[in-house]
Structures are given as structure tokens and as C-alpha cells.
């Protein structure tokens, strides 16, 4: 601290300089943090990245901060996370929490986000695990261990882990303080007391949600688009490789594999009917998967007590499949998904 006696004994010019200095220090303490003020425009805002001091604070906290983007299959989780990571939170790194996409292979069938779609955002546990006879399944306990290491590594670099995926059993296993791999907390026959309510991270939950009628229309169209993109050829290579497991383990559980098994086992006769039946089954099973995922999310909120921020993306999906132009659809997505999500995450990270 400066000694006031020294200031008093100095000449009047020095007193003015010192008083100005103290006045500037006082005024600066009332200014908001950089990037705090929010623009009302839908244009991209200043990108958020923690300065060295803030980064050190995040790393040094008792619990690391993580952003969790959850939702049913096809609800836009990956797109939302990429928009946030590339435009606002440039220190974000994504940890995949989809129990099928964690396996290597079947890129189209499992609908993995492509390298161009990632836009340079670093992804972890996406297509990294290759099942073997000795290790056929990447279990929730395996995910807890592997993803926990990645969270520590990302936070240790001063970056923000984004957990993105639809496998709520993976998300629960990673986040809770005490995880019992023998207990299925999503089985509604189990008491709500089976949930561990204490989280080992400081979490911000974004639930990207789409109303079932609109989401189902989109999912059915997505299956057709996947078939047009080479899914049948990909599955043909899968079934012709004797090294791939045909039992319902690992990647063999991906929607598309069991449904097309009869098609690839049959002779030429009746192949068209088998193809059409397989596609119908894929659509039905994808819809049922989405319904199960939403029920699990609701159970996490109601029985687990998780504070979920619901982001309603229904209007954007309806516009994408309706008569609206691409620019109109993009504006709806921006206003109803990106901007609300950005404000929630920014407030969480600046707390």
C-alpha cells in the first residue's frame, strides 16, 4: 500500500496524480467482466475464452466446470455444441457420450459427426474404442474412467469440457459422485433413492428438446438420407468381414445392423422386400430409442433432481422440414437454440 504521509508531504502535482490513480482503481472495480454485456443482435458475439487468471481459477476449483448437452437422438445436440464452441466458447473440447459412437467403424450407420462438421473443435472418445473378444463392451464404468481422465486433462489446459451425447447411462456414470455399476437407476421399478444426487463436477445442463411428432418426422427422413449416403454399402462391408461380431455386443448393437442381418443372409429372391422391411424397422427402432432417451432425461430431472435447462428446438426442426428458406430456418435456430444456450453457458462460466 501507498503511505499517505508520503503523499501529504509531496507537492500538489503529485497529490493530483496519486488521487487520479486511486480514482481509476476504484472505478475499474465496478466495471463488468469482459464479454459480460450481451448484444441483442443475432450476429456472432465476441468469442469467450478464459483469460489466464480465469483459466487458473477454473482449474483450481474443487470441482471442474463441465457443460452437458443432452437430448434424444437427432435433436441437434452436436450442431448446438459446435455452434457454441466455434462462435462463443473457443476453449471448449467435446467429449462424446454416445454409447454406440464411442466404437470405431460404421460412420454413417452410427451417424457420427464428420470432420468437416466438427469445424476444428477437438472431440474425444468418438470412434476411439475397438471391441475385442476380451473387451466386447465399453461399459458405463469404462466411460466413467475414460471420460473422467479427459475432463481432468481438458480442465488442466484451461479449457471447458463439453459432454455431448444421448446415452444417459454414460452421462450419469460420469457425473455422479458415487456410481454403482450393478444398479440401473433408470429402471423405474427401482426407488428414486437409488439415485446418487451428489455430482463430482460443477455442471451446466442443456437439454435440447424437440416435440415427438416433429422429431419423428425428422428421424424418418434422416434414415432415408443415411441410406442415400451409402449406409447400405457400409453395412455390406460390415457383414462381409468375418472379424466383425454378429452377436448383440458393441457396434453390432447399432441400429441398422440387426435390422439388415436377414437382408444380407438371404439369397437374391425377395431382397427388395427385405430391404424395405429393414428400413421400416430402423425407423421404428430409432423412434423408440428417442422415446426411451427422453424418459431417462425426465427421470434424471424428476428423480435425480438434476437442474436441466430445456432448450426447445421444435420450431427450427419444423421450419427445416417445411416451406421456410434456409436463411429463415437458420434465424429460428439462432434465436431459439443458439442464443438461449449461449446465455445460459456464459452465465455459468462467469459465475
pLDDT value of residue 188: 83
Do the domain assignments include residue 68? yes
- The pLDDT score that the predictor gives to residue 39 is 33
349: nearest Cα among 91, 96, 170: 91
State which residues form the domain around 177.
52-216+285-350
pLDDT single digits (tens) 185-237:
998 888 888 899 999 999 999 999 999 999 999 999 999 999 999 999 999 99
Q: What is the DSSP letter of 73?
A: T
**What's the pTM?**
0.81
Instruction: Determine, yes or no, domain membership for 311.
Output: yes
> What pLDDT does residue 244 have?
78
- How far is residue 239's CA from residue 29's CA, in Å, rounded to a whole number? 65
CATH code assigned at 82: 3.40.50.300
Residue 44 lies in a domain: no
Q: What pLDDT shows up at residue 9?
A: 42
In a domain, 313, yes or no: yes
> Measured between alpha carbons, how far is 36 from 88 in angstroms, rounded to an integer?
12
How far is the C-alpha of 289 from the C-alpha of 255, rounded, in Å? 9
Domain annotation covers residue 225: no
Quickly count: other Cβ atoms within 10 Å of residue 174's Cβ.
25
In a domain, 42, yes or no: no
Residue 336 in contact with residue 316, Cβ under 8 Å? yes
131: in domain? yes
What pLDDT does residue 76 have? Answer: 97
Instruction: Give pLDDT, residue 61.
Output: 52
Query: Is the distance from CB of 164 to CB of 67 less than 8 angstroms?
Result: no
- In whole angstroms, give the CA distance from residue 69 to residue 80: 8
Question: Please, are residues 139 and 54 in contact by the beta-carbon 8 Å criterion?
Answer: no
DSSP 8-class letter at 255: T
Q: How many structural domains is the chain composed of?
A: 1
With respect to residue 104, please indicate whether it lies within any of the assigned structural domains: yes
**Cα 314 to Cα 70: distance, rounded to the nearest angstrom:** 15
Residues with pLDDT less than 70, the chain: 1-61, 245-246
Query: What is the strand order of the sheet 160-164 is part of?
Result: 123-124, 92-96, 160-164, 65-70, 202-209, 308-312
| 226 vs 93: CA distance, rounded Å | 27
Amino acid at each position: 500500500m501507498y503511505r499517505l504521509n508520503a503523499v501529504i508531504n509531496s507537492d500538489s502535482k503529485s497529490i493530483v496524480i496519486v488521487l487520479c490513480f486511486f480514482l481509476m482503481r476504484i472505478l475499474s472495480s465496478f466495471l463488468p467482466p469482459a464479454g459480460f454485456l450481451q448484444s441483442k443482435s443475432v450476429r456472432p458475439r465476441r468469442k469467450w475464452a478464459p483469460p489466464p487468471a480465469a483459466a487458473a481459477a477454473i482449474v483450481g476449483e474443487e470441482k471442474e466446470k463441465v457443460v452437458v448437452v443432452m437430448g434424444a437422438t437427432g435433436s441437434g445436440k452436436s450442431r448446438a455444441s459446435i455452434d457454441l464452441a466455434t462462435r462463443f466458447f473457443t476453449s471448449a473440447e467435446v467429449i462424446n457420450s454416445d454409447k454406440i459412437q464411442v466404437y470405431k467403424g460404421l460412420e454413417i450407420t452410427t451417424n457420427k459427426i464428420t470432420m468437416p462438421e466438427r469445424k476444428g473443435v477437438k472431440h474425444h472418445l468418438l470412434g476411439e474404442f475397438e471391441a475385442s473378444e476380451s473387451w466386447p463392451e465399453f461399459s458405463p464404468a469404462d466411460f466413467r474412467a475414460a471420460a473422467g481422465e479427459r475432463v481432468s486433462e481438458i480442465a488442466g489446459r484451461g479449457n471447458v469440457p463439453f459432454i455431448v451425447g444421448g446415452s444417459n447411462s454414460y452421462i450419469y456414470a460420469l457425473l455422479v459422485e458415487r456410481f454403482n455399476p450393478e444398479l440401473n437407476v433408470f429402471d423405474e421399478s427401482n426407488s428414486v433413492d437409488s439415485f446418487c444426487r451428489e455430482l463430482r463436477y460443477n455442471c451446466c445442463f442443456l437439454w435440447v428438446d424437440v416435440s415427438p411428432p416433429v422429431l419423428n418426422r425428422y428421424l424418418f427422413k434422416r434414415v432415408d438420407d443415411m441410406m442415400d449416403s451409402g449406409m447400405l454399402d457400409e453395412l455390406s462391408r460390415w457383414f462381409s468381414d468375418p472379424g466383425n461380431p454378429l452377436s448383440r455386443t458393441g457396434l453390432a448393437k447399432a441400429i441398422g445392423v440387426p435390422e439388415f442381418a436377414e437382408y444380407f443372409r438371404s439369397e437374391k429372391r425377395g431382397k427388395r422386400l427385405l430391404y424395405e422391411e429393414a428400413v421400416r424397422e430402423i425407423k421404428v427402432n430409432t423412434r423408440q430409442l428417442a422415446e426411451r432417451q427422453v424418459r431417462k432425461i425426465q427421470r434424471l430431472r424428476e428423480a435425480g433432481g438434476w437442474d436441466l435447462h430445456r432448450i426447445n428446438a421444435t420450431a427450427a426442426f419444423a421450419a427445416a422440414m417445411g416451406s421456410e428458406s434456409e436463411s429463415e430456418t437458420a434465424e429460428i435456430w439462432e434465436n431459439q437454440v443458439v442464443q438461449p444456450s449461449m446465455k445460459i453457458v456464459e452465465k455459468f462460466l462467469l459465475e
